[in-house]
Amino acid sequence: MTRRRGRRNGFTLVEVCVAAMIVAIGATALFAVALSTRRTIAVSPIREQMHQYSRLLLETLKTHVTSDTAVATGAPYPTLGSPWRLCPPDKTNSDGTLAWALSAGNHNADCFLTPALTGAPVNAHLLYAVSVQGGARRITVTMNWDEPD
């Protein structure tokens, strides 16, 4: 009895498993790219708004620096409501003294932000710190917000 060795139709189990693995890896990569793109699109407007408000804050602080003659001459600070103050939430320091826009220390500038940014789900905060070294001020702006999942 002789066996006829001919070509079989179809795929072997190994070929099917390898093909399934390749398709699974490709689908996983495509899904990861789709999720990443969706998250980037959701976060971009928030990120752009926060950068705009931080630039607005820096421009406002720049006007304080250029009109900073009272500090340079040792004159007393102007009264409340003057351009030396940024916003009402920044009324006092932790020790109860008045907090001016360019006084050394940490400052909250959330008043620059819209209620849509400061409320849930974004919970944004705009903070800045002023340090004085050798009569020169260094301002560091920090932006914090919750990004959607």
Asked if the structure places residue 55 within a domain, the reply is yes
Beta partners for 92? 98
| pLDDT higher than 50, residue 79 | no
Asked if the structure places residue 57 within a domain, the reply is yes
Residue 95 structural domain: 44-144
24 vs 139: which has the higher pLDDT:
24
The reply to whether the predicted model has a pTM over 0.95 is no
Using a pLDDT cut of 90, give the percent of the chain over it.
26
Q: Which pairs count as long-range contacts for 59-67, CB under 8 Å and 24+ apart, including other chains?
A: 60/86, 60/101, 60/112, 61/86, 61/101, 61/102, 61/128, 61/139, 64/101, 64/102, 65/102, 65/137
Give the total number of structural domains in the chain.
1
Asked if the structure places residue 28 within a domain, the reply is no
Asked if the structure places residue 53 within a domain, the reply is yes
Asked if the structure places residue 54 within a domain, the reply is yes
Asked if the structure places residue 134 within a domain, the reply is yes
117 vs 64: which has the higher pLDDT:
117
Asked if the structure places residue 78 within a domain, the reply is yes
Owner of token pair 């620059």: 112
Using a pLDDT cut of 70, give the percent of the chain over it.
69
